[in-house]
Chain A
Amino acid sequence: MQMMQTKSGPTFMNAMMAKDLAVTTFIAFSLSFLLVGFQTLALQGQQLSYINHLGDVAWSVVLVVLGRYGLLVDREGAHRITLVVCGVAAIYLIGSAVAGLAEVTWYAMLPLPFAQPMVNGIFGAGAAILAVRAASNMVTRRATMMSVEQREAYETRRNRLNRKFSQTVGPIMVLLAIFMPITPWGDRGRVDTLVVILTSVMLGWGLNIVVGLAGLLDLGYVAFYAVGAYTYAKMSIGFGWDFWQTLPFAGLFAAMFGVALGFPVLRLRGDYLAIVTLGFGEMIRIVLLNWTDFTSGAQGISGIPYMDFFGIPFIREPQEGQQSFAKLFGVEYSLDHRIYFTYYVILCLALITNFVTIRLRKLPIGRAWEALREDEIACRALGVNPRNTKLTAFGIGAMFAGFAGAFYATRLGFIAPFSFTFDVSAGILAFVVLGGMGSQVGVALAAIILVGLPEVTRELQLYRALIYGCAMVLIMLWRPRGLLSHREPTIYAMPAKSRFFGLWK
């Protein structure tokens, strides 16, 4: 059947396609006519008026229909032409967005569908997806004719590639992270951005224990982050302790809250567990908001001591008899010292989280977590205590969030309940799900992409939610189990040639 079609060549128009395109036109028009077509304006002191953007409506309908047509033609087998046309369109349109960001003015002179470069870019991304699709269809047309053995070999090869990728990218990323501040690109702003990214990576790794390994869907992870942050704030202000003295307590309290949350939800699974943990996250936030005596409510706590160098503060003018970092090392005072030191602290904390997780996975407790995720009843039949296993997962996951929270508080010097909303939990969960449950490198990559991209350019900040959404949809379409979903066994029967790099996975 397929052979015959390829011989006769793809059809470029028939009744079915015409109908499909008519429906697409109608949907695109009805969606964009009111949403895009009219903008209300409140002029000063006058009645409400509007301006129309019918040109934009026309362009969006045309582009959507063209895209749909590309999809249909590609399905008919005309992969090459779809690839070329969509590829050119994608480069042209995405170029507009890039030019907009880089403030290249001549690009705007070119005939472009929309005045906003970013909107052009979004349509360009659509064209790019079509092009990638066409290209992958060109490859997989061969794949459909593979035998079972060939397909299995293909799968094995892909898994090995995945593993190789994780094993090489992990150490490279760590090396880059270590040397980044001394490269020419390591200015203060960029390092500060990296601090934000690394905090997210650390939170992703922490949640990965609960969600990725133990399979407990936790939507209230931000609560433990908040507990860590408030513990640090109260202890450092109240007792005058420095970061290193307070850090263990932040972890301890967060772990205690994790276990406290764990107890009532021991019997719950899946959706029910997700809802209760979501409620718990909100409870913590609302308590922080309303317990004004202790947390100063919505005002938040300010004046939290900044990071110090193991007890020696980074200050410009130390008082009489007081030590300071600059004085100790005999260097000129610079704000950079603190920021760079902060950066290395979070890098260490994140790497510790990573190493501990990898270690735990290879210990009985980690295997019990994974077994619990796979089948709780079988676990009980083997004498694994489900209660203790779940509580340790909640506790250890929460502990790392507590450490990250303490770090967050000392970095900003100010915390308030609005920093610990459900959005943060959802974002962290997105790293874990998109990165591939249980894959350390995958989680880090997802966090870097999702946090890093919007941080790098202010322009993209507006489109943050859109990027999240698109990334989610695309990953679910292409890699339903996450970017790097391949699971490595924790113990091998056959000794492998080189286990050295396995450390980073």
Chain B
Amino acid sequence: MTAGVPLLNVEHLTMRFGGLVAIDDVSFAAQSGQITGIIGPNGAGKTTLFNCITGFYKPTVGRVALTAAGETHLLERLDGHIIAKTARVARTFQNIRLFPGMSLLENLIVAQHNKLMRASGFTVLGLLGLPIYRHAEVRAKELALDWLRRVQLIDLADQPAGSLPYGGQRRLEIARAMCTDPVLLCLDEPAAGLNPRESAELNELLLGIRDEYKIGILLIEHDMSVVMKICDHIVVLDYGRKIADGGPDAIRKDPAVIRAYLGEDEAA
């Protein structure tokens, strides 16, 4: 699985905002079937990196190549919605972005928009009420209900998403991202604001997704109990630079990482 071309290959990625260099020449690779953690102190450029990968920013310099099923997409050249549609990269947001007025089920159905749009013949066939669309909708609903069951929100399926408690909203956002059928799932601080029990459930969920769907997961997280427990591979950023890259045990002992998190000893 890990042999050959990596799923995501980020090469010499640089993002400048005027004079500010948010990401400075970062390169790393992420594999399918692995959870790649991206950690670093506040302001290290983690979310900016995500925004470059998912097309919300256009990187100043660098190449982001996604290779899945023998096809390579250069993400830095694509628009956000095309990355999600053709390269199949899904993401969640640091400050949750659900469709609060729509029901949980509808949130997950919107995630299958492109599939359903084709089935509805770009609205024309659907408007005529042809069975091809009705069947596609039934299948989409089944997928959505499966995911709702999986994140334990099935009882609230018809409630508006905005009425969910915080932890539920986090889980729903992950389920929604998974409904787009991604090859790479980017999670921006999914454990933020969760209590220890919810955090542990999240670990289970992410490991389950990794093992069952064999997709790559990119994970930004501050909660080290989550990161160290579930990540197969960790990339550490500080001031926009990559300072370390390796397995959890190596990262834990890395002097550069300790320096970035705990500060430098003057005498040393």
Contacts and interface: CB of A to CB of B under 8 A. Distances in A.
Nearest to A496: B158
B168 to A, nearest CB: 15
Given A370-B99, A375-B98, A383 B127 contact: no
Contacts of A110: none
Interface stretch (B85-93, B196-204, B209-217): B85-93
Contacts, number: 119
A368 B113 contact: yes
A370 B81 contact: no
A381 interface: yes
Contact of A494 (B81, B120, B158, B177): B158
Interface string B96-107: 011111110110
B111 interface: yes
B111 A491 contact: no
B110 interface: yes
Contacts of A492: 105, 158
User: Among A363, A365, A375, A490, which residue has the most Cβ atoms of chain B within 10 A?
Assistant: A363
A6 B100 CA distance: 41
Contacts of B123: 360, 363-365, 392
Tell me the dominant secondary structure on chain A's binding face. helix
A363 B127 contact: yes
A487 interface: yes
Interface string A366-389: 011011011101111111111000
Nearest to A373: B101
B117 interface: yes
A238 interface: no
Interface in A337-380: 356, 359-360, 363-365, 367-368, 370-371, 373-375, 377-380
Contacts of A380: 55-56, 79-81, 84
B111 A382 contact: yes
Given A364-B113, A493-B158, A385 B81 contact: yes
A383 B110 CA distance: 10
B158 A489 contact: yes
B148 interface: yes
B136 to A, nearest CB: 9
Given A359-B127, A493-B148, A365 B117 contact: yes
Interface in A470-504: 487, 489-494
B102 A384 contact: no
B36 interface: no
Given A375-B97, A380-B84, A381-B90, A491 B137 contact: yes
A489 B106 contact: yes
A359 B154 CA distance: 26
Given A392-B123, A491-B106, 19 more contacts: A359-B127, A360-B127, A363-B127, A364-B113, A364-B117, A367-B106, A367-B109, A370-B106, A371-B113, A374-B102, A375-B100, A377-B97, A379-B81, A381-B84, A382-B81, A382-B177, A489-B105, A493-B141, A493-B157
23 contacts: A363-B133, A364-B117, A364-B120, A365-B123, A368-B110, A370-B102, A371-B102, A373-B101, A377-B97, A378-B98, A379-B110, A380-B56, A381-B91, A381-B177, A382-B90, A382-B110, A384-B114, A487-B101, A489-B102, A489-B106, A489-B158, A491-B141, A492-B158
Lowest 4 A-B CB distances belong to which pairs? A383-B84, A493-B157, A383-B85, A374-B99
